[in-house]
Structure 1
Amino acid sequence: MTSYKETLDYLYAQLPMFTRVGASAFKTDLHNTIALLDKLDQPQHSFKTIHVAGTNGKGSSSHMLAAIFQQAGYKTGLYTSPHLLDFRERIRINGQMVPEDFVVDFTEQMRTHITDIQPSFFELTVAMAFRYFQQEAVDIAIIEVGLGGRLDSTNVITPELSLITNISYDHKNILGDTLPQIAGEKAGIIKAGVPVVISETQSEVQDVFINTANALNAPIHFADQEWMEASGAIESNHFTITLLDTRQQQMRRLQLDLNGRYQEKNVMGVLSAVKILQQNGWHITWDHITQALSHVKKLTGLRGRWEVIQRHPLTVLDVGHNEAGIREVMQQLGHVNYQQLHIVVGFVKDKEVEKVLPLFPPTAHYYFCKAQIPRAMDEVALAEMAAASGLQGHAYASVQAALQAARQHAQPDDMILVCGSFFIVAEVM
């Protein structure tokens, strides 16, 4: 009998994994995914889905939607990536991770097909999720795109609704080096006749979405034209926001347990999506929405989004890792009071680090480090690049050593921010 650990070792060893090795693991067509799902009799068509893409905010938006459906009494699947601590975080039902036994049994059953088809780690994980959601007869599953959209392994579903959060530069080596090109890849999840919500209107790319939606006869909604922020305030552990529903001229007040100011755009997308789903017969009340959004972490297990792990010094983890994500994190810092800022940071090699570094404050003390994966950027090289951008600090061979140094230097009224990569945050956890 194979153990869960042996199964994971086999998957990590056998299958190319984007999060570890980068672009070489990304497949440029859906052949493998379709071949795997054929062996399983197409489980993805046996339950309802919502498909979520975007450069930033797709994870938070997926978790918010899952929380709302859960709160409304629906058996809700949630597929996200990457994971922080345990592989099973990627596949959940009503917040509970897929059992270890299922991962072991599924992998055993698929071993000969794995040898024949040679899927990537992500392709196999998608098939595993769809099989699990089918077996457990979920009412709906929220499916987060891994990378891009058009060629992503998840793009084999016909959802109830597609949600695209925003477009910014990330994975340019794969998705293209202009925003319209990247938007074109994300727009690949729009399906014929299926409504699509765009969380954030961006002038450079809105025509890409409008043209794609029109060609497919898909009703399109821009959430930030349907909602306006009337007021917003950040408390220590939640974010209170009042929104005006511009169509019904009605004020709506929400308290989010995801307390990053940047969640405001995500929540508008989620609310516009829910409104369409309500019209299409899903029984979701405003009470379900307010309850769910104040307990997303508890309901779905979301972590690493402006997550406070200590008060003195204030220590915050955030998985922001690309230009737009880091910009949002830096704006959030403007809402915090502290004496001195300490930033523990590391990146993966294929990020455009030279574009991101100028966004960081030159007054902070830096602790440059690298996660224990092949794709991680060398900490000394990072420190040198940062120095060229006017950022001063020291390099540390591990995330733990960097965090320890930050804790030794920080006073009780200081702040420690850990960011730059999912893998840096995971190692702190």
Structure 2
Amino acid sequence: MSTLPTTLPAWLALIESRHAVTEINMGLDRVRAVKERMQLQFPCPVIMVAGTNGKGSTCAMLESILLTAGYKVGLYIKPHFLDFNERARLNGDLATDEQLVASFNVVEAARGDTMLTYFEFTTLAIMHLMANSGLDVAILEVGLGGRLDAVNVVDADVSIVTSVDIDHVDYLGGTREQIGFEKAGIFRTGKPAICSDPVPPQALIDYATEIGADLWLMGRDFNYAGDKQQWNYGGRSMRRNALAYPSLRGANQLLNASAALAALEALKNVLPTGAQDVRTGLVTVELPGRFQVLPGRPTVILDVAHNPHAAAGLNQNLGNMGYHAYTYAVFGSMHDKDIDGVIAAMSEHIDHWCLTDLPSPRAATASELAAKVQAIQPERDERTINIFEDPAQAFTNAMSRATENDRIVVFGSFYTVAGVMAARKNALH
């Protein structure tokens, strides 16, 4: 028996070496078998969140409100930008290397000769850590789809599907109906199943009905209304009035906030939250890389919009920001995304493109992106297209050219935003 790693970086390197990180192995039989050998069970309520866009924001709002209300909260969210520990939050703090290593050891001992992907192994480890941390509630973000995602070996007490749009077509199918069916796979018989997509796919509704889930639909079971100052939530048995807007900026955040409040309404007997908890939680919530506007000039915006639905939201947010002379884009994308759709959604506001390669075999090259921009965005005066080897170089170039009255939007893959975050962090040290 070879000795096991004793540090988190060594563990992560080992798991990556066993299974290519790019490999996605759909199916839950292996994960479920290891979970049962680990005797993994949550002694607290579990809220599970899936969706094409908005799931990270919804999870962050739930965490913020529940922490404000004084509960011990676990949050599993992904991917990470700079440190793996970002994926596991216990009571608002990142899990320590030591806590994660201890849980990796448990998974390894239970695994036997069962092969697990990087995602499956780390998901089981983080869920084990949360199940054994004395939490009042666990919030689990689904990685890909829902039905066959490793997180779905747990039965959630409340499930949320935020939005259903086209993404990951190789794995989930190319229509909203196919993808809606995959995401509905996190619903459970007799349990609240919340969907905040204003136009839910019929396949999602049909599946919820078929298994006897307690389906909550936006506009039917819960809703929101607002003016410029504040907004109100209305649910089945509960109203929340005079709420402040969430500190997460952007057009879809009230849909996400409403889904979070519907989940809290469904759990009101187990995890009661007061009006002030909700107000404070929404005002103080933070989530990196979701229309994150950095202080200083030129204005820099970080956003992990990497599909047309998210890019349309980002474009709308840019339009609401007031005047900027020129907009520079630092953009990199995975190959399997609808890159044409993303560029088309963003082309209204972008004058100068700084396109970048990314450190992943799944990434599109900067040259491929340049050809697409050339084909899709109408020619405009002074438009430039430049290509770079990595996000740091692309960002440095944009910063060197932008004036105080311009803005730089860094968007696309998590790798794009993470690359710029890392470069900024290094520049500060």
Q: TM-score w.r.t. structure 2 length?
A: 0.90
Shift of 1:244: 5.3
* Equivalent residue letter for 1:371: L
Aligned to 2:280: 291
Shift of 1:109: 4.4
Distance 1:249 1:140 in 2: 23
How many residues align structurally? 408
Aligned to 2:17: 13
Distance 2:189 2:239 in 1: 31
Q: 2:93 aligns with which of 89, 93, 96?
A: 96
SS for the counterpart of 2:122 is helix
Q: 1:350 aligns with which of 316, 322, 336?
A: 336
Distance 1:162 1:198 in 2: 9
Aligned to 1:389: 376
SS for the counterpart of 1:142 is strand
Structure 1: gaps spanning 5 or more residues? 233-239
SS for the counterpart of 2:152 is coil
Aligned to 1:235: none
Distance 1:109 1:54 in 2: 30
- Asked whether the 8 Å contact 1:213–1:219 carries over to 2, the reply is yes
Distance 1:309 1:394 in 2: 24
Q: 1:212 aligns with which of 202, 207, 219?
A: 207
Shifted more, 317-326 versus 386-395: the winner is 386-395
Q: Alpha carbons of 1:210 and 1:107: their partners in 2 closer, same or farther (altered >3 Å)? A: closer
Q: 2:362 aligns with which of 336, 357, 375?
A: 375
Shift of 1:156: 1.6
* Equivalent residue letter for 2:226: A
Q: 1:327 aligns with which of 303, 307, 312?
A: 312
Aligned to 2:177: 180
Shift of 1:47: 2.9
Distance 1:275 1:331 in 2: 30
Shift of 1:419: 0.1
Distance 1:151 1:44 in 2: 19
Aligned to 2:231: 242
Q: Alpha carbons of 1:46 and 1:245: their partners in 2 closer, same or farther (altered >3 Å)? A: closer
Distance 1:113 1:283 in 2: 36
SS for the counterpart of 2:305 is coil
Q: 1:419 aligns with which of 411, 420, 426?
A: 411
Give me the CA root mean square deviation. 1.9
Aligned to 1:401: 393
- Asked whether the 8 Å contact 2:370–2:386 carries over to 1, the reply is yes
Q: Percent identity?
A: 30
Q: Alpha carbons of 1:109 and 1:165: their partners in 2 closer, same or farther (altered >3 Å)? A: closer
Aligned to 2:227: 231
Aligned to 1:130: 127
Q: 1:312 aligns with which of 268, 293, 297?
A: 297
* Equivalent residue letter for 2:412: G
Distance 1:175 1:386 in 2: 27
Distance 2:76 2:219 in 1: 26
SS for the counterpart of 1:189 is coil
Distance 1:185 1:423 in 2: 25
Distance 1:245 1:334 in 2: 29
Q: TM-score w.r.t. structure 1 length?
A: 0.90
